[in-house]
Structure 1
Amino acid sequence: MPYVEVRGANIRVKWWNGEYHLDANGRPTKKKRYESASGPQPGIPFADETEAYNYGLDREYDVRHGTHIRRADANTLMKDYCWAWFDALDLRPKSTVSYKAIINAVIVPFWGDRAVGDITSFEYEAWRKQVKLRYSESYAGQVLMVFGMLMDDAASRHGLRKTSPVVRTGRRGRFQKKVREKKRPLEMETLYRLACNAYTVWGYTGWAYIWTLGFTGMRPPGEMFGLRREFASPNWPASDPDPDRRAEALERYSGNNPLHVLRVQYQRQWVGGQKESVAPKYDSHRSIVVPPFLHEMHSALLASHASPWVFTSHKGDELLGCNFEKDYWWPIRDGSDERTGRYARPKIKAVEEFKNKRIYLLRHGHKEWLDEDGHSVIAVETRMGHEVAGVQGLYSNLTPAMERRISESLQERWEKFMAAGDRWLPPFPMPLPSSGAGGSSMQASGILF
């Protein structure tokens, strides 16, 4: 039972916290450990002895039912808890950098000197409103997500508080419709004009890069940057370094009527200031069948350089490390003025349908095409690197017949478009005698519309 001490105007209650003191060998003794409080909340004293006694009874009830939070734990400062929580996480390199930056720049500066157990839902709601006003929608969402995980784990895993102050209930207050990004259906004409602009900006590599995005749905930039020569369709699966995976893929895709396939094995990212090949997002390693026309493009591109990367920069280096948005994607979609001198190129017309749009929308457009062609959900989602939930995902399986139909429908889409008009096509690149082992020089010719 708790007992109350009255010392002048101060009232204090003590209760057993369910633990025993330890001896010199670390073994529990019969001496109980007690905790005490001088008020229901810090800075607020008990009104009388009855309130103090009832407070102690409530604490002992928590001890008996395993819901008690030690005051020392609840008083852990956020600046200590945040980094202890972060160090215990097992995250992907990109998430590690992102979480660390959010904790360091936003969460610790605001909450660092507060005790984990003292943060209330009212305080959280006020802070959440400030975050959403101060930062972009995307970044604010990331900040609130990380803080929510911190508080959830403090309550459910680490025993630092009973419940999380992040109360996820139905909508409250004035309804605000979520603003969705405006998208147009991806037309072949649009993709063609982007590819033509890419050829002007970047040569045959740019031409192949845009068509690859539109016809494979790979995730840019990581998976595109990380596509290596041995995993491109002209070489894979025979070049796969894993013997078991190589044998399985050869059995699946070879034969009298083989399929052309590339392998999404890596994405390229910065890890601790170093360029690293890491697993694709959600560990979505996958094989993607490519239509014959794209296979021919990749064959020509790889024959033009000796780089280990399928898509290289202007200088023949890997793309990670260059300013891809500014130097490649923006002039491709938004156009640019004529250049003269060493880096001469003609004026590039903007592709109005894609002006100021993300290159990621080409991946979205690829899924639209698959849906238009009536492919099964399991075939589409597996190709996109997603997992299908529920019974459908458990029982369904991507078959070679499904993959062949995808390849055929994509090839048909290409052939119908090219046959519909007098379409300009660039010449296949030819390696120059001066091409080095890591370069990607090629003869330039042809310019565009």
Structure 2
Amino acid sequence: MPYAERRGAKWRVRWNTGKKHPENGKWLYDSQGGFDTRDDAIAYGLDRESDIRNDRYVSKRDGSLLMSEYCRTWPETQDVGHLRRRALKSMIRLYIEPRWGDLAVGEIRASAVRAWKMWLDDQPNIGEGYGREIFGTFSMMMDDAVEDGMRQSSPVQKKRRRGKYKKAKRERKKDMLIEDVHQLACNALTYWGFPGYVFILTMAFTGMRPAELYALRREYCPPNWPASDPLDDPEEEDREERHAEEMERYAGDDPMPAIRVQWQHQWKDGVLSLLPPKYMSRRALVVPPFLAELLELLLKSHDFDYVFPSINGGELAKANFTYSYWRKIADGQRERRGPVPGSGKGKGASRRWLPGWEPVKNWAGKRLYLLRHGHKEWVDEDVPIRIAVESRMGHEVAGVEGLYSNVTVGMERRIMAALQARWLRFVATLPEGWEPVSPTPLPVDLLEWMKSQVKAAEALTRGTGS
């Protein structure tokens, strides 16, 4: 039974929380003041005791933890990868703790949360997607606070939508033309060298993520793989069984050239590290024969551990690829003489001549990642089998469809043939003098190789009667 006592002109009520002090074993009490009458105070105390009996009550002590402390400890309770943990800590440090850090967890009100959400939406430096991530992180923190007994309910209202409807903004995209892709590859050849030419074509014809391309090692690339697979990942429990299946599938009587996506390059604790691909999406990707030939030529041209060395011959992931490579390749380049970004400084810096080139149609200002999007569009168009396309992109198909479906050898052969045919149809249209200007000698005779591709295109045309 709660009891009330007068405090000046007002009344205060105290009630037993049903919990005991962990050290001395005495009952713990909560209180609330500011009531005009004794009856009002007693009624409030009775309501709290009802909450206690029905397991709805959150003690003031339980909800008194400051958000600043909760922001420090909460990320460590999340079972996520290091990149996601780093993103959570960044959003908390930049946006959540500055707004809520001085309040107790139990003091946060729904109206204040709605006002903060509107503030996030109005910030010019916070994109729509990033804003959703920030608010989603805060929502998870409040849900966990409820489970930990620091709040009775979350202040984030999820079941009803308020305010005017806003249509989600989507990036405007155009069809990915193979003519544009090849021009990007030629620009990369001029600026970066032969590795750049093959890099662009590999991303466009496999849909690999950039970090997966940065970390592509020789042993996971045709013609070496799958025979060269080191099987050295201790977290992959079924690697022996997986390797046996891949030897039969990709190196058997009728082999298919394929890349094994085993790692991605990411920075972890300040160290460039090999980590599993996003969503643990290790996979094998069949590649069209022309690309397998280019990859073999590239591997013969250098002895670096990774397939795509940077301009200065080091790990590509150590460069700011978007700024130092991609923007120059896609947005155009004026003729210049001087150091090449990423090639060092002082006497050892590269000062090769770079000819100018125009921006690539439909790609100036666009993201590198759209090459991956474009690859999916190509495969969707040529081989519209959802399980094959999504598996190739490193996605899982949910539900019964994903459970019952499987990527067959026939599906992979259709993808390989469709990509090869797309390339050969393009090669047949190449005009005289298509060759890009290279400021340094190429390690391969690209012109002679392209002539062989033209012959293959002519043979395909004769074979189809078109």
For residues 39-58 of structure 1, the aligned pairs below 5 Å read 39=33, 45-58=34-47
Aligned match for 1:144, one of 112, 135, 140: 135
What is the distance in 2 between the residues matched to 1:423 and 1:228?
35
Does the 8 Å contact 2:383/2:418 carry over to 1?
A: no
Q: Does 1:184 align with 2:181?
A: no
For residues 358-397 of structure 1, the aligned pairs below 5 Å read 358-397=367-406
Match of 2:186 in 1: 196
Match of 2:454 in 1: none
What is the distance in 2 between the residues matched to 1:426 and 1:280?
35
Match of 2:118 in 1: 129
Q: Does 1:37 align with 2:46?
A: no
Residues 180 and 300 of structure 1: CA distance in aligned 2, closer, same or farther (over 3 Å): same
Q: Deviations over 1:287-316 (max 9, x none)?
A: 111111111111111111111111110011
What is the distance in 1 between the residues matched to 2:19 and 2:424?
76
Letter in 1 for 2:29: E
Does the 8 Å contact 1:209/1:311 carry over to 2?
A: yes
Q: Give, in angstroms, the shift of residue 412 of structure 1.
A: 1.0
Match of 1:18 in 2: 18
Match of 1:401 in 2: 410
Match of 1:284 in 2: 281
RMSD: 2.3
Letter in 2 for 1:265: Q
Residues 333 and 76 of structure 1: CA distance in aligned 2, closer, same or farther (over 3 Å): same
Residues 315 and 96 of structure 1: CA distance in aligned 2, closer, same or farther (over 3 Å): same
Q: Give, in angstroms, the shift of residue 62 of structure 1.
A: 2.3
Percent of residue pairs bearing the same amino acid type = 45
Match of 1:211 in 2: 201
What is the distance in 2 between the residues matched to 1:4 and 1:71?
18
What is the distance in 1 between the residues matched to 2:36 and 2:114?
29
What is the distance in 1 between the residues matched to 2:405 and 2:157?
37
Structure 2, unaligned runs of 5 or more: 232-238, 339-350, 448-466
For residues 19-418 of structure 1, the aligned pairs below 5 Å read 19-22=19-22, 33-39=27-33, 45-134=34-123, 135-137=125-127, 138-155=129-146, 157-220=147-210, 222-242=211-231, 244=240, 245-340=242-337, 342-418=351-427
Q: Deviations over 1:47-86 (max 9, x none)?
A: 3223322222222222222222121121110001111111
Residues 444 and 123 of structure 1: CA distance in aligned 2, closer, same or farther (over 3 Å): farther
Structure 1 runs of 4+ aligned residues shifted over 6 Å read 423-427, 443-446
What is the distance in 1 between the residues matched to 2:385 and 2:202?
22
Q: Deviations over 1:90-139 (max 9, x none)?
A: 32222222221221222112211101111111101111122222232143
Q: How many residues align?
A: 423
Does the 8 Å contact 1:239/1:246 carry over to 2?
A: no
Q: Which moved more, 1:324-333 or 1:45-54?
A: 45-54
Q: Give, in angstroms, the shift of residue 425 of structure 1.
A: 7.3
Give secondary structure in 2 for the equivalent of 1:162.
coil
Letter in 2 for 1:276: S
TM-score by length of 1: 0.89
Does the 8 Å contact 1:14/1:34 carry over to 2?
A: no
Does the 8 Å contact 2:109/2:155 carry over to 1?
A: yes
What is the distance in 2 between the residues matched to 1:23 and 1:327?
62
Letter in 2 for 1:390: G
What is the distance in 2 between the residues matched to 1:303 and 1:383?
27
Give secondary structure in 2 for the equivalent of 1:412.
helix
What is the distance in 2 between the residues matched to 1:423 and 1:71?
80
Q: Give, in angstroms, the shift of residue 372 of structure 1.
A: 0.6
What is the distance in 1 between the residues matched to 2:333 and 2:177?
22
Match of 1:420 in 2: 429
What is the distance in 2 between the residues matched to 1:228 and 1:88?
34
Q: Deviations over 1:222-255 (max 9, x none)?
A: 1111111111122111111226032221122222
Letter in 2 for 1:212: T
Structure 1, unaligned runs of 5 or more: 40-44, 433-440
